[in-house]
Amino acid sequence: MSIRANTKICRWFYTHNSPRQWILTGCIAIGLIGIALGNYNCTGGASIPSSQPPGRVRTDHPVVLLDELQIGEILAVDQLGHRSNAPSAQGIDASVWPTVQVQCDANPPADTIPLYLAKNNDPLEIASDKPTRTLQKIQGHSFLSFDFKQVRARQDGDPNAKIVLALSQVGPFRVYGDDPRTLLPAPVSPTGFAQVDQPEQLEEIDTRIQIVWPHSADGTLAPVGQAEFVNIAVDLFRHGSLESVPLDYAPNEATGYPILYIAREDKQAELYAATENPQRYRLPRKTTFALNGQTFPRWVFDNVPIEPNQDYFFVVLLSPVSKDPARRAYPIVWSYTAKTRTVLSQTNNHSPCLP
């Protein structure tokens, strides 16, 4: 109800000889309730809807949530911060934009946004968490941008490096590089076991996907773009090393197994769960492999269903992201795609902010 409509109702009752004192009190109360619920604006009409879809506009408080953000523009820069596509490029500039319409003075919680980064097949780690908040204009509209400058990404000037960026360990993920595919013809080999008194003392773990084997329903090897299923093998190492966890290591205190997350294209990854119960995740098969006279543990997710010609990202964690982990995982992000060239999304998919 608008202020104008409320005024008409009050005037009708007032002129029809109703008790005027309680009418006045009631009208004031109705007006205050309407203002509190945000149904009025200063013009006396109902609030003007924006061009955004219903539920995609937030003006309640100047905070933009992390799951309302996306990685927009990515640019290679040299040591001086100048744009560069040359082998001398040492870092990147990355812009993060809200996916919903928010106030122009909105800030992320605690004024931080974690930008995760991984080079090639290295584990995903936080590269920066202090972006610069800016307002940019396109076609006369202002939009909010959180900018990361000169994030070191291409160590040693490697021009062929594939950089994976994300705002959380479960994405959404963006790949920056000529070839978006994860290519790992020779999985990394453990150098031995992590030496600890008790396996549970290993609290920081690199979860390395070593093999993704695409196949058909009958188990026959299939091309990446045609496969209906994949088998995903993961090895666990002490963080920052190639020392394998012990054979009796239990990654998850509740189940004893690691957990698979699957992201489709530019969506956030979802827990690989049972169809009949999305809260119950599917467990891998624990196996072993022999190398240099030693036997190491490995976990395999068999027959993971996928759709042909779809792009996926696979990530293995130690516990669901909805829970506070007892042990911290540093996953590699496996980019599963038949594309041999990176195709960056358009950079105009941002929402104008509200002054």
Q: How much of the chain is helix, strand and coil, in % rounded to 5?
A: 10, 40, 50
Mean pLDDT of the chain: 78
pLDDT (tens digit, 9 = 90+) per residue, 308-354? 989 999 999 998 887 766 688 999 999 998 876 655 444 456 778 88
pLDDT number for residue 159: 64
Q: Are 343 and 179 in contact (CB under 8 A)?
A: no
Q: Phi and psi of 146, rounded to 5°?
A: -110, 115
% of the chain at pLDDT higher than 90: 35
Structurally, at CATH architecture level, domain 66-176 sits in Sandwich (2.60)
Q: Which residues pair with 215 in a beta bridge?
A: 221, 229
The CA distance from 253 to 232, in Å, is 22
37 pLDDT above the threshold of 80: no
Please state the length of the chain: 355
pLDDT (tens digit, 9 = 90+) per residue, 149-165? 888 766 555 667 788 99
77 pLDDT above the threshold of 70: yes
| Ranges of each domain in the chain | 3-36, 66-176, 192-336
pLDDT number for residue 7: 41
Q: Which residues pair with 316 in a beta bridge?
A: 260
| Residue type, position 163, single letter | I
